[in-house]
């Protein structure tokens, strides 16, 4: 019996449609697998935990983690599952000893700000606020010497440990802003214009050291100095607290500052996800 040609063509078309449907289903499944919720671990010090936002999570620690901190904001924007291990006052040794436990081969994203406390920045600023005739130039110079000579090795130890614990993660190292714009708006702080300039220079040195070590480990570096350049202490739109009550809130990003950080960090993390 001879099958009509039009019947053959219909059968071929039907088969092609069925195959296409199967392929589409498989592709949807593949897309769903890649859309799995990324695992994000936030490490570091008070600049990551959210000190300065004046609202903290009651988690049984003194880490002063805030829902207004940039890791929380970035995780929400990315739809990531955040493990928030950053802690106020942390130094590099604290990261190594206390903050790496949640890193695994399944960790997708890591952010970290660290190094400021190792360099003793809070103590230096406290001394800068001492009344005349005391000045903090020597303290700043000592901090800069530490940054240049000792901090690189400490950062290397932390970055190597992060990579060892989270071999597949995209790591974004987050820097610190300059604090001052040359104006004085709080007489109680007693920090002179000269000292403010020296502290800003120290922030530049710190940024250079952190950026270089991050690059050496193939980590991304987010530099906030430009974004904060019109939002320093005493600006008309401050992203940083000046001398505050309580004092622990001083010289840290406020809620607007953490939004500014999130605006920088989120694209860096998003780009990492798009490459994975």
Domain ranges of the chain: 38-275
Element (H, E) at 221: strand 220-222
Cβ 119 vs Cβ 151: under 8 Å: yes
Residue 261 has pLDDT above 50, yes or no: yes
Residue 31 has pLDDT above 60, yes or no: no
Give pLDDT tens digits for 182-208.
877 766 677 888 999 999 999 999 999
Determine the Cα angle at 94 with ends 89 and 100, to 5°: 125
Alpha-carbon distance of 198 to 183, in angstroms, equals 14
Choosing among 1.10.150.120, 3.40.50.1110, 3.40.720.10, 3.40.50.10490, the CATH entry for 38-275 is 3.40.50.1110
156 CB neighbour count, 10 Å cutoff: 14
**What is the structure's pLDDT at 13?**
52
Give pLDDT tens digits for 100-135.
999 999 999 999 999 999 999 989 988 888 877 788
Give pLDDT tens digits for 74-92.
999 999 999 999 999 999 9
Alpha-carbon distance of 135 to 14, in angstroms, equals 85
Could you give the residue numbers annotated as active site? Answer: 46, 252
**What is the structure's pLDDT at 187?**
66
184 CB neighbour count, 10 Å cutoff: 16
Cβ 74 vs Cβ 81: under 8 Å: no
Instruction: State the pLDDT confidence band at 3, using cuts at 50, 70 and 90.
Output: very low
Q: Which residue, chain included where needed, has tokens 């790496």?
A: 100
**What is the structure's pLDDT at 35?**
59
Tell me which of 200 and 16 has the higher pLDDT.
Answer: 200
């Amino acid at each position: 019996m001879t099958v009509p040609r039009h019947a053959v063509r219909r059968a071929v078309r039907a088969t092609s449609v069925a195959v296409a449907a199967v392929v589409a289903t498989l592709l949807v499944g593949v897309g769903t697998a890649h859309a799995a919720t990324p695992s994000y671990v936030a490490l570091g010090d008070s600049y990551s935990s959210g000190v300065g936002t004046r609202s903290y999570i009651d988690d049984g620690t003194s880490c002063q983690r805030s829902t207004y901190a940039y890791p929380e904001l970035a995780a929400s924007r990315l739809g990531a599952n955040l493990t928030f291990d950053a802690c106020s006052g942390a130094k590099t040794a604290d990261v190594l000893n206390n903050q790496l436990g949640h890193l695994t081969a399944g960790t997708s994203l890591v952010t970290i700000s660290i190094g400021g406390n190792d360099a003793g920045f809070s103590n230096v600023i406290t001394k800068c606020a001492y009344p005349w005739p005391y000045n903090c130039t020597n303290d700043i110079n000592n901090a800069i010497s530490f940054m240049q000579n000792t901090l690189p090795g400490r950062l290397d130890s932390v970055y190597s440990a992060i990579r060892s614990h989270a071999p597949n993660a995209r790591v974004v190292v987050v820097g610190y802003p300059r604090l001052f714009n040359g104006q004085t708006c709080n007489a109680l702080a007693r920090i002179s214009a000269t000292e403010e300039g020296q502290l800003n220079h120290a922030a530049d040195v710190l940024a250079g050291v952190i950026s270089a070590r991050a690059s050496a480990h193939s980590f991304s570096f987010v530099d906030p100095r430009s974004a904060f350049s019109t939002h320093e202490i005493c600006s008309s739109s401050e992203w940083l607290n000046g001398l505050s009550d309580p004092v622990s809130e001083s010289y840290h990003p406020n809620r607007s500052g953490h939004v500014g950080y999130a605006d920088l960090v989120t694209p860096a993390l998003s780009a990492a996800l798009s490459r994975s």
